[in-house]
Chain A
């Protein structure tokens, strides 16, 4: 899972100027305040041009001015009761048009999906969660699309809008009311689908094992450990995996971690006859989690121990990670802030998600060895913990736990007992984590988000709920855009247009690449020609006039596409499914940011829809 650095900004950092080094130095609010007047002026000018073509220069100006003035009056007179009346109408319409069928479809798909989802796969939690969230997203978007695009055009076609427009309803109330009504219906559906999904995931993942074999651990001495391990054993296979387990003297124990989960094991009783213990195996735990990571800044040291701007580039085109060379002084140093005693009373849990680049095969069965240690940022290498060796597991997450009391090494090189907070954390709560690769000629790759401190987990259900908020936002925007387009297009065309906007929104990077020419194959027309003549992407066309014309038109089309794609909301950014599936808490700042952007887009769509409806002759 890729963590975008932009997403690590808090809400206020993103919104207000002075933000931390991102491209929008004036803050999102600044950008908004710049864009809105510019865009409004441009739009007003375009409308004026249209109006001039119709009515002539002075009359045209008068018309536009009058419409804008009327718009301002209308908006300032919005009545909540009327908006609510329109919303109720929309809800009524949706319900009596049997929109509940969507929920029925959802439940049906869930029932059958259970047969096909493989709970014995490597990461079943990820699979199940991704599945329900993705399916809910598609259904919610389809629902929003269908509800919003048919309603107003039907009104206009059936002329029921005549009766409404002759009441003191403002068009803005009609548009807002409809959006609100459909959003409410969609929300209710989402709640039902959400609960269903949650239960589905829990049920699909639950499984049990029984004890296959066990043995008593011999030769357990007293000594330091008051609760030594007394029993060891293995469990039967279920869902294509099995566990080993340990039970302590107090009767409590657990299995090892397989496929991202573990079970609790308890000694229930000892049968009288033959002193055979009976164990109870609990349900699977630990794979429905929401980690709250604390990220830090990343710095590299090159192979001579000098600080470097970035790591080595090993030639992977798509990789933005830097690499460090093994068996040298090269290292990656993360600096974390906010490491306090209150937050981490007992231990510090670090998770590593490193990439490995092997320049020779080496021992392919085993991961590449690395070492990790903590150091005090104030004193540099003078105060650090004893390095811990680990095996870098690619594509799954290593967890390294540092107990609070551990051995530290000072300048003299002699290990002694120390405490993380007394020795290693600096005065302002910062801590350095250094990672090195131990094997020569092998490389570790890392990015800022690859190593993090794991603070207390958030409840999974909350995270699941937050994921649903992301889906809800997407649905709200689709609904708003659908209503907006339906104010001036007929139902089918509005639906297609909204659908195109969704696609463009999901693929806006692709569209930008087409414009900048990073992607081969030219613009739309050229691509069609290539398709029809079965030419590949990099073939050259002969230098004719036709080619030049086509390419010229394509430039314009590309510009239009990229302009549209830039204006439209980037749906991808609202999709937080990965967070929930991979078990990371959705950062509060991210959620607030998405909510703000979503709200702004919705209001903008409502405004545009209002003006289209107002200037439209519905009885024509």
Chain B
């Protein structure tokens, strides 16, 4: 099965007015030097990127391609060797921009000697929130990530999934306009992954902008509007997911309730129009959906599995 893809370079947004550019990098370069000033690693070469308001942007690439570096440059945790990184039209090292962003690092780097409530309260204070607002936000966020039952336990006792959820909560404590996620679904089980993806989509629906980087292709495909693919520090591809992945010259039809005669007729129509039938069969649901369905059923009816035969 051959597939032709059509790449669209930076398209005009299909909607009416151009959205505001939230993140912009201009010729961003990052080179790690050793003590004597010689180049050690070329982490990022001349990256030009734009992220618009209200979209989910994915940075894709294998390990070591510069995804995390880009995010850290945007956050001001690293300083660019040359070029500019702008967030909300301000330089990345400007502290003021942090009021409007949230960041979920790869491993949730949180203080292990605090418990969940204290952690969120602490970060809330850093946003200069008054006590009342803090209290409400902390409670609602803990509720949202479903850690009500463990909120008094010190973080050192949390499992990885739980820490990641608290990390997400602290990223949202200030109700940010822009959220940066570094490998959000890496290391999560399928349920956690699904919840994370649902949350990301919900955030977009609330009007927020999300920039995430990942090497888990399926997750990025499910969630992102636009992606950029990096490899060894170079930008290889950028564009809308649907336009990048749409196979233009193949038509896909999914119909319910077709009899065998109907199928034959369709075969005939196709050959009559000079097309080549590539496949007519039952589509497969994804393993993710099967898994989630079984887990949901199991929670409702614990015990031995009920095997359903076709």
Contacts and interface: CB of A to CB of B under 8 A. Distances in A.
B77 A617 contact: yes
A169 B97 CA distance: 11
Contacts of A97: 113
A76 interface: no
Contact of A160 (B37, B75, B109): B109
Contacts of A592: none
B73 to A, nearest CB: 9
A84 B75 CA distance: 24
B79 interface: yes
Interface string B82-115: 0000000000010110110101010111110110
Residue among B101, B109, B114 with most chain A CB within 10 A: B109
Contacts of B95: 74, 168-170
Nearest to A158: B109
Contact of A159 (B93, B107, B113): B107
A163 B110 contact: yes
Interface in A54-86: 54, 70, 74, 79, 81-82, 84-85
A613 to B, nearest CB: 12
B105 A620 contact: no
Contact of B126 (A70, A85, A158, A617): A85
Contacts, number: 80
B122 interface: yes
A357 to B, nearest CB: 63
A162 B111 CA distance: 11
B118 interface: yes
Nearest to A168: B98
Contacts of A273: none
B93 to A, nearest CB: 8
A258 B125 CA distance: 61
Interface in B121-155: 122-123, 125-128
Given A163-B170, A166-B101, A82 B128 contact: yes
A612 B146 CA distance: 40
A37 B10 CA distance: 53
A88 B111 CA distance: 13
Contacts of B77: 162, 165-166, 617-619
A619 B114 CA distance: 23
A617 B105 CA distance: 16
A269 interface: no
A158 B127 CA distance: 22
Given A74-B95, A168-B95, A160 B125 contact: no
A89 interface: yes
Interface residues of A, number: 31
Contact of A85 (B107, B110, B122): B122
A54 B95 CA distance: 24
B78 A619 contact: yes
A167 interface: yes
Given A85-B126, A92-B118, A169-B95, A162 B32 contact: no
A25 B99 CA distance: 50
Given A162-B105, A166-B98, A96 B113 contact: yes
A509 B95 CA distance: 44
Interface string A132-164: 000000000000000000000000001111111
Contacts of B127: 167-168
B72 interface: yes
B159 to A, nearest CB: 18
Contacts of B78: 617, 619-620
B126 A164 contact: yes
Interface string B159-191: 000000001001000000000000000000000
Given A617-B77, A619-B72, A620-B78, A159 B126 contact: no
B163 to A, nearest CB: 12
Nearest to B33: A54
A168 B90 CA distance: 14
A70 B90 CA distance: 13
Contacts of B93: 70
Nearest to B105: A162
B239 interface: no
Residue among B110, B125, B170 with most chain A CB within 10 A: B125
Residue among A81, A96, A158, A166 with most chain B CB within 10 A: A166
A159 B105 contact: yes
Contacts of B98: 166-169
Contacts of B126: 82, 85, 164, 167-169
Contacts of B108: 163
B192 interface: no
Contacts of A79: 128
Contacts of A163: 103, 105, 108-110, 123, 167, 170
A92 B117 CA distance: 14
A378 interface: no
Interface in B282-296: none
Contacts of B99: 168
A410 interface: no
A169 B99 CA distance: 9
Contact of A166 (B75, B96, B125, B128): B75
A93 interface: yes
A158 B96 CA distance: 25
Contacts of B79: 617
A88 B76 contact: no
Contacts of A617: 77-79
Contacts of B128: 79, 81-82, 168
Nearest to A80: B128
A88 B122 contact: yes
A89 B127 CA distance: 15
A81 B93 CA distance: 22
A167 B95 CA distance: 8
B174 to A, nearest CB: 8
A581 to B, nearest CB: 40
Given A166-B77, A168-B95, A619-B77, A92 B110 contact: no
Interface string A210-233: 000000000000000000000000
12 contacts: A74-B95, A79-B128, A81-B125, A84-B125, A92-B113, A97-B113, A162-B105, A162-B109, A164-B126, A166-B76, A168-B98, A168-B128
Given A88-B125, A618-B77, 12 more contacts: A82-B126, A89-B114, A162-B109, A163-B103, A163-B105, A163-B170, A165-B76, A167-B123, A167-B127, A168-B95, A169-B95, A169-B126
Query: 8 closest A-B pairs (Cβ-Cβ)?
Result: A85-B125, A619-B77, A168-B98, A166-B103, A159-B109, A167-B126, A96-B113, A160-B109
